[in-house]
Amino acid sequence: MRFKITLIPDSTKENLLPINYQYPLASWVYKTIANGDRSYAEWLHANGFADGSKRFKFFCFSNLTTPRARVNGDRLILSAEPVTFLLSFLPERSTEEFVKGVFAQQRATIGDSISRASFNVASIEMVPEPAYPETMEFESLSPVVVSAKRPDGTKEYLSPTDARYAKAIIDNLVRKHQVYYGNDPARLPNEQFELIDEPKLKGVLMQKKDLVRPVKVIGYRFRFRITASPEIMRLGYVGGFGEENSMGFGCVGGRT
């Protein structure tokens, strides 16, 4: 289930967002859910759906759409125009009534120790879900993160042009399906991932509260075509493609 959330900047304040706003935005989403249903938020934060050492939260959100915003160093200077983003949940507990009830008429303060932006939630609209044919085109609305482990155990972020990328992104969706539904998804013999345009690298610094130094996460923005079963396709669209979905990565929009 997907929603478009519209935020109105507080006109009484100077609104400066950090360029790397993904973690503060994710924190606000968690906090808002906690205010509506603390047990659900605590379960999402601490557990989600477990697959060994991995935890899947099964929600994702897009980058903010910020009309007429200006970049100044590592800050984003917002205009007075509304800011929007998409928030997408796979768990059935996240119903339309629940999400609208939790986010309606809320205030949002998003930022870091240097600057913050304040907003009022103006509206929450449910976005109709598309049909899922076996081949679809998507464009990333936030960077898509895919990684592989090196022999020494460190993480290597993969480019969509890497020969390992197509298998890795589909395998990730298959694992998520197994964890969420408890069974294997239907598979097609002709599964395929195909780039449509040149991928653009997006490095995002994630300053989490429990870390002394920020961690750089590397993802890519691009358009792509994928052939897979409708079950796999829906999981990618609703829950996110790739990794770190609940931190603001891997949200996509369908292309006609």
Candidates 3.40.50.11540, 3.40.50.150, 3.30.70.1890, 2.40.30.10; CATH matching 2-127: 3.30.70.1890
| Cα 28 from Cα 41, distance rounded (Å) | 12
The fold adopted by the segment(s) 135-255 is Alpha-Beta Plaits (3.30.70)
| Cα 244 from Cα 236, distance rounded (Å) | 13
Compare 157 and 102 and report the one with higher pLDDT: 157
pLDDT on residue 94: 56
Residue 166 forms beta bridges with which residues?
A: none
Question: Residues with Cβ < 8 Å from 188, sequence gap 6 or more?
Answer: 134, 227, 228, 229
Percent of the chain beyond pLDDT 90? 67
Distances (CA, A) of 53 to 50, 56, 194, 215, 253: 7, 10, 30, 19, 29
All CATH 3.30.70.1890 domain ranges of the chain, comma separated, are 2-127
All CATH 3.30.70.1900 domain ranges of the chain, comma separated, are 135-255
| Cα 41 from Cα 48, distance rounded (Å) | 9
Q: pLDDT (tens digit, 9 = 90+) per residue, 8-64?
A: 998 777 789 999 999 999 989 888 887 776 666 665 555 454 445 455 467 899 999
